[in-house]
Chain A
Amino acid sequence: MINIKNLDKALKKVEKPARYIGLEENSHNKDINHAKVKFAFAFPDVYEVGMSHLGLHILYNLINDQQDFVCERTFAPWFDMEYQMRDKNIELYTLESKEEVRNFDIVGFTLQYELSYTNLLNMLDLAKIPILSKDRDETFPIVIAGGPCAFNPEPLADFIDLFLIGEGEEATLELLELYKKHKEGDFNKKEFLYDAATKIEGIYVPSFYEIFYNKDNTISKRVVLESKVPEIIKKRRVRDLDKMYCPERMLVPYIETVHDRISLELFRGCTHGCRFCEAGFIYRPIREKSVDTLLCQAEKLVDSTGYDTISLSSLSSCDYTQLDLLIHSLLDKFEDKKVGVSLPSLRLDSISIDILKEIERVRKTSLTFAPEAGSQRLRDVINKGVNESDLEMAVSYAFKEGYSKIKLYFMMGLPTETEDDLIGIRDLSYKVKDMFFNRPKEEKVGNFQLTTSVSCFVPKPFTPFQWHGQDSIEKFYDKIDLLKKTFKDPKIKFNYHDPRVSYMEAIISRGDRRISNLLLKAWEYGCKFDGWSSAFNFDIWQKAINDSGIDPHFYANRTRDFDEILPWDFINAGPTKKTLIREYNKALDGNITPDCREVCNGCGIDNCEMRGVFN
């Protein structure tokens, strides 16, 4: 255990001390000394961000419900706390037992976004755990990672001992069981990793593979170094969500977090097939929970947390087949407790609007729409199945119901984009504004405010755009200038993302093993919390790029050939490469692919659960 007196002194000096104390409702108080396997769940961002992540609540309860295992949490300390910790010799600790992370058996990082990677390195350093996997012997914890970004594990290959690809519920327990067995004997790190890699599906151990490169920097081949280690890693997916473990409790933070509410996961997967969206491809197919299961889970969660809002959180919650029934049942059930229901994402269609009406029985929520592209042509290219009349209908309903603040989200730098498409962003925004002011006087309630936000497109692995070269930073700035000039209305606020941030994201997300060196340099030079605009420092990143000798354009701006070996090709995420190529070609031709809930598009998932359910 860390020195508690020092901790108390540190806490008195930091801005939000309650981030670092734990003791929340539904946190466990198991004795870690009696646990056979001690697992530290590490989230490489601040407490408020990490605690809003549903996966944390699931794994935390899942592991702690097992008698032999214990799971405790640790987060990235904010700048002020890191300073105090280094000053007072406080190692990175877990919130529950205030135990040094270094004394745990396994440290598991969740990878939600690439720009948290420097935090991961910093946390290892704060834990006094050697950063490079090869420098850690049996006296240190096994460092593992999972989550959406683990689908391209290569940029972190030098740091992480073992990756878990796909949904973690089942594989995590299998891994902890295996660890327990190994710990009972003479624990040998390599033997444990070998057993994990060969016995548990979805486990990737980077040190069992070697990568060779061509003169032009592309990959020439991957070689498996140990016998029986799989060449292709197949992602894990839970097949029956009704039978899957679902926590009856959720940790309830004392401080305000990004997401202060119950997260009710209705289903996994999404099959709209938006061509820019990684989650849509890697979490296929759709697997729903039944209404009965959900009502039962909601009741337990309300009782155990006291939250007044249930958020229906899935990739596209409006797609839930029995949404109407579910929402009615939830609202009726909790009406007297004043518990409301919220939908984090709305689609621009009539179903969403009807549902919105229902929810309004209890509480108003803010309205955000994401047309993503400014013209119908480009929306077809990205397979975003909405058209202008959908948006018009949704917006006019919103105005009628008294909403006067609307947010619109777009992307720039999408494949095939022209100036006309960009102007389309402006036209659509002005149209929304005109719709508000063209209504009869008595209906114009509220202070109209439209925010149009434009982000820079980052091509992601496992999407049909994984071969596409990202726009250069200069090109993005040109486009921003063009848009800025066209937005002249004080009622419309034009926001844009920092292209330099998106550039770093592009380099890392499609990176290979050589990116490890870049990350290490960036961290050594002081990069952390890069996802926070207040902390992101492009100058340091640029120095790290120069000193690590990588060619950033090779990773970010280069359009790849279809026959190139991509760094993540050895992972089977579900849809086949053939499917992705087909989709990319269709995109370039402006052809759409319908949602496969109607007809299977043959994306290549074996034993797809949907084929029996929807088609």
Chain B
Amino acid sequence: MKIRAKYTKLGYLKYLSHLDLVRLFNRSFIRADIPVRYSEGFNPHPKLSLGNPLPLGIESVCEYFDVELTENIELNEFNNRLNEVLPKWIKIIESKEIDELTPSISSTMCITEYEISADLTNPEEEIDYSCEINRLLDFSNIDIEKKKKKGKNKVTIKVNIRPFILKLSINGVYDGSIKFKSIVLTGEKGNVKPSELLEVINKNTKIKLDLDSMNARKIASYTNEFEE
């Protein structure tokens, strides 16, 4: 039996890396007595796969993993048993049975919706925030510099991320901080991180943000067809 589970990654545990999560789930399977299928070979490890890694420091309420089991198990029981041993910031929200034909997580979930907030460094300035954002979205080119590994060296390349931003809007301004909502591509075809969004806002609009104060949360994942 193969299961796809949706889980949260909240609080300080947003600082766990991809590998940390894999290890956490593997330990949790043992503790929760989940009959996980192991790979063959000298060093057997559970057949578990996670989606594309979430950037470090970003919360999420919609992460996914796939796992293979040797026996069938009620989905409810699967969720409950795991949730009993998982830390409270990482909890299974729901799970469903999938089969061999189900496409992998990383190949399907390549559109992401984020909630992002940051402190304004110029809160006293009178700015029409929505207007500024719309002006930014009118650009046909928004270039950022990305570091890429080329052989042994790291090189900086310019990437136009405008086509990868499907939506960007203001979600509220209060107490010197501003909240955005954004839908961006996060996959092979294009990839935008919340920190990059703030960077381009800082660079190209009158809105000035304290980038270090960023808080971001992934609130939805969509497939290519824009459906969850």
User: Are A and B physically bound partners?
Assistant: yes
Chain A positions near chain B (C-beta within 8 angstroms): 5, 8-9, 11-13, 17-18, 21-23, 25, 252, 254-256, 260, 302-308, 337-339, 363-364
**Is the beta-carbon distance between B17 and A338 smaller than 8 angstroms?**
no
- How far does the Cβ of A359 sit from chain B's closest Cβ, in whole Å? 13
> Are the CB atoms of A12 and B212 closer together than 8 Å?
yes
Contact B57–A18 (Cβ < 8 Å)? no
The answer for the CA separation of A21 and B17 in the assembled complex, in Å, is 13
In the complex, what residue of chain B is closest to A254 when comparing beta carbons? B20
Min distance, Cβ B195 to any Cβ of chain A, angstroms: 9
Residues in B with CB closer than 8 Å to A302 are: 30
Interface centre among A11, A17, A254 (most CB of B within 10 A): A254
A231 to B214 CA separation, bound complex (whole angstroms) = 59
Is the C-beta of B16 less than 8 angstroms from some C-beta in chain A?
yes
**A5-B213, A306-B28, A306-B30 in contact; A21/B15 too (CB < 8 A)?**
yes
| Cβ-based interface call for B52 (8 A) | no
Q: Given the known inter-chain contacts A256-B19, A306-B85, please indicate yes or no for A23 contacting B27, CB distance below 8 A.
A: no
Complex Cα distance, B214 from A9, in Å, reads: 8
Distance in Å: Cβ of B139 to nearest Cβ of chain A: 27
**Chain A interface main SS type:** loop
Give Cα A260–Cα B26 distance, bound, in whole angstroms.
13
The interface residues of chain B lying within 8 Å CB-to-CB of A256 are: 19-20, 23
Select B87's contact among A11, A25, A303, A307, beta carbons within 8 Å: A25
Q: A255-B20, A305-B27, A338-B38 are in contact. Are A9 and B213 (CB under 8 A)?
A: yes
Q: Of all chain B residues, which has the CB nearest A304?
A: B31
Q: Is B131 an interface residue (CB 8 A)?
A: no
B16–A308 CB distance below 8 A = no
B residues touching A (Cβ–Cβ < 8 Å)? 11-13, 15-17, 19-20, 23-24, 26-31, 38, 42-44, 56-57, 85, 87, 89, 212-215
Structural contact, B30 and A23, CB atoms closer than 8 A: no
Would A337 and B24 count as touching, CB distance under 8 A? Answer: no
User: With A and B bound together, what is the CA distance between A519 and B126 in angstroms?
Assistant: 56
CB<8 Å pairs between A and B, sample of 13: A8-B215, A9-B212, A17-B15, A21-B15, A23-B11, A23-B12, A23-B87, A254-B13, A302-B30, A306-B28, A338-B38, A339-B30, A364-B43
Q: Are A308 and B30 in contact (CB under 8 A)?
A: yes
User: Across the two chains, which residue of chain A brings its CB closest to B119?
Assistant: A5
The chain A residue sitting closest to B214, CB to CB, is A12
Distance A339 CA – B29 CA, assembled complex (angstroms): 12
Decide: B16 and A12 in contact? CB cutoff 8 A.
Answer: no
B16 is contacted by which of A18, A25, A303, A304 (Cβ under 8 Å)?
A18
Does the CB pair A23–B89 fall under 8 Å? yes
Chain B residues contacting A22 (CB-CB under 8 Å) are 12
**Residue in chain A with minimal CB distance to B28:** A306
Given contacts A9-B212, A23-B87, 6 further A-B contacts (CB under 8 A): A22-B12, A25-B85, A25-B87, A255-B16, A255-B17, A260-B23
Asked whether, in the complex, the Cβ of B27 is within 8 Å of the Cβ of A338, the reply is no
Residues of chain A with a CB closer than 8 A to B214's CB: 12
Contact partner of A17 among B43, B57, B89, B212, CB < 8 A? B57
- Tell me, in angstroms, the Cα distance from A302 to B26 when the chains sit together: 13
Q: Which residue of A lies closest to B30 (CB)?
A: A306
> Shortest beta-carbon distance, B23 to chain A, in Å?
7
How far does the Cβ of A196 sit from chain B's closest Cβ, in whole Å? 37
CB atoms of B57 and A338 under 8 A apart:
no
From residue A582, how far is it (CB to closest CB) to chain B in Å? 49
Shortest Cβ distance from B12 into A: residue? A21
For the complex, what is the distance from the CA of A285 to the CA of B16, rounded to whole Å?
A: 43
Question: Please, how many angstroms separate the alpha-carbon atoms of A119 and B56 in the complex?
Answer: 28
Complex Cα–Cα for A25 and B17 (A)? 16
